[in-house]
Structure 1
């Protein structure tokens, strides 16, 4: 049974489907990738990063937070004050995280895709989800990124990186098929011009409202997702039977020549109001 924030997803074929990876033959074609972004709103790039580099950063993260009692299997008592200190004062602004997000393979890809020098937003988000946690607020609710990036270009691209294997039960990102098309229409009509907020935690209800399908996949270490600022996405609850923590990061690149949202040029904190 698939859930998100405690809501049970409808697994009928007209409400649930699979994400389509970019074929190897299209990965070196800028035109093909932009056609996919225009059509699908996302790019699923298998084995984009070196799995060894991903694994090394995952080990660093959990080793650093072991001091606060955080374990990769989610067991034990966690000192939340110590965890927050290490996460927001050491890991998030630290050189290890920044270097991971600025790997040449990432920077070179976005420079090539966007046809310009690129800017990485300093507000980079890293999340861990404990197995078994559920209910409102535990998983990322349905939203699209432009809701939170109003003060810059709308041509920001998000890179979501699962930091380690993330099979469906571990709670990876899922995408509402074709949602970027109706979001673009609503944006043009001014329907969604409102303060930053998630759309809803009720993923099955949102799919019904738009007669759409949630798309998902098993992610392996090294896989990444690129999506547009208008693509609706969310996360599943972590119900992994192996009791492994889900860890991921989402970062954002854009052309240096486009307007930048100044609010996103500070280190991420979960109480920063964004």
Structure 2
């Protein structure tokens, strides 16, 4: 049973489907990739990042936070096993925003050849990585509105720049659906672009709703899901509606992921996204 913010997804064939993998024969064909991105609103690129790089950063992240009570005692940090006790939130926030987010390790991951180099190739020119890069972990058993990322599309956060910005979501560890990966509302980038152009959006707010089943009924669309593995990435349009599933892992593992944004350097840049991410930055 798949849930998001406590809402149970309709798993009928009309409301639930699978994210399509990008075929291997298209991986080095820029024109084919652009056709796929425009058509379905996303690219699932399996094994895009070296497994060792992802796991090294995962270990760096959880090791840095080991003293906050976040992790189960006696477990290796890279396992990401959540503790059952309280977390020192003051220490956690200080380490996250003062040490991890601005770290050279994080920057290196997000600008590596498999990421930054890929965007330079795909966008066919010099690119800009937004400094505001977001890291999230979700603990198992957290349910109810506000515990998982609600349905939204990214452009509502990036109004001051180009609408051709692309997001990359990177699971920092294996992420089956039970761990709370992303879900995409199939084909909704077409409807959103039309509504944006016509000025007929009824809900321009950043977060559309936590009720994923009702949103699927409204758009007559399917939520698309898959099991992600270390090294996989999702590249998606700024207009495609997406959300996160609940983490219901029975082994106590936390989901760790990052989402970053790239665009052509020559396109307008949203100046508000040029500082390090902080959860109180108002964006």
Task: Specify the TM-score bucket, using the shorter chain as the normaliser.
Answer: over 0.9
State the aligned residue count: 274
**TM-score using structure 2 length:** 0.95
**TM-score using structure 1 length:** 0.98
Indicate the residue corresponding to 1:5 in structure 2: 5
Indicate the residue corresponding to 1:155 in structure 2: 164
Indicate the residue corresponding to 1:102 in structure 2: 111
Distance in 2 (CA, whole Å) between partners of 1:92 and 1:49 is 20
Deviation at 1:196, TM superposition (A): 4.7
Counterpart among 246, 256, 261 of residue 247 in structure 1: 256
Indicate the residue corresponding to 1:201 in structure 2: 210
| Counterpart contact for 2:153–2:206, Cα < 8 Å | no
The answer as to 2:193 corresponding to 1:184 is yes
Indicate the residue corresponding to 1:73 in structure 2: 81
Indicate the residue corresponding to 1:26 in structure 2: 26
Indicate the residue corresponding to 1:55 in structure 2: 55
* Secondary structure, aligned partner of 2:137: strand
| Counterpart contact for 2:170–2:257, Cα < 8 Å | yes
Indicate the residue corresponding to 1:175 in structure 2: 184
Query: What root-mean-square deviation, in Å, do the aligned CA atoms of Structure 1 and Structure 2 show?
Result: 1.1
Distance in 1 (CA, whole Å) between partners of 2:20 and 2:204 is 32
* Deviation larger for 188-197 or 10-19: 188-197
Distance in 2 (CA, whole Å) between partners of 1:226 and 1:251 is 10
Distance in 2 (CA, whole Å) between partners of 1:269 and 1:107 is 22
Structure 2 gaps of 5+ residues are 72-79
Indicate the residue corresponding to 2:226 in structure 1: 217
Distance in 2 (CA, whole Å) between partners of 1:96 and 1:121 is 16
* Secondary structure, aligned partner of 2:65: helix
Distance in 2 (CA, whole Å) between partners of 1:194 and 1:11 is 26
* Secondary structure, aligned partner of 2:20: coil
The answer as to 2:107 corresponding to 1:86 is no
Deviation at 1:193, TM superposition (A): 8.7
| Counterpart contact for 1:148–1:196, Cα < 8 Å | no
| Counterpart contact for 2:171–2:228, Cα < 8 Å | yes
* Secondary structure, aligned partner of 2:37: helix
Deviation at 1:195, TM superposition (A): 6.1
* Secondary structure, aligned partner of 1:107: helix
Structure 1 outlier segments of 4+, above 2 Å: 191-196
Distance in 1 (CA, whole Å) between partners of 2:172 and 2:5 is 21
1:178-201 superposed Cα distances (whole Å, 9 cap, x missing partner): 000000010001133976521111
* CA distance 1:194–1:218, change in 2 (3 Å): closer
The answer as to 2:145 corresponding to 1:136 is yes
Structure 1 gaps of 5+ residues are none
| Counterpart contact for 1:158–1:227, Cα < 8 Å | yes
The answer as to 2:274 corresponding to 1:265 is yes
1:46-76 superposed Cα distances (whole Å, 9 cap, x missing partner): 0000111101100110000011111122113
| Counterpart contact for 2:111–2:117, Cα < 8 Å | no
1:221-269 superposed Cα distances (whole Å, 9 cap, x missing partner): 0000000100110000000122210000000000000000000000001
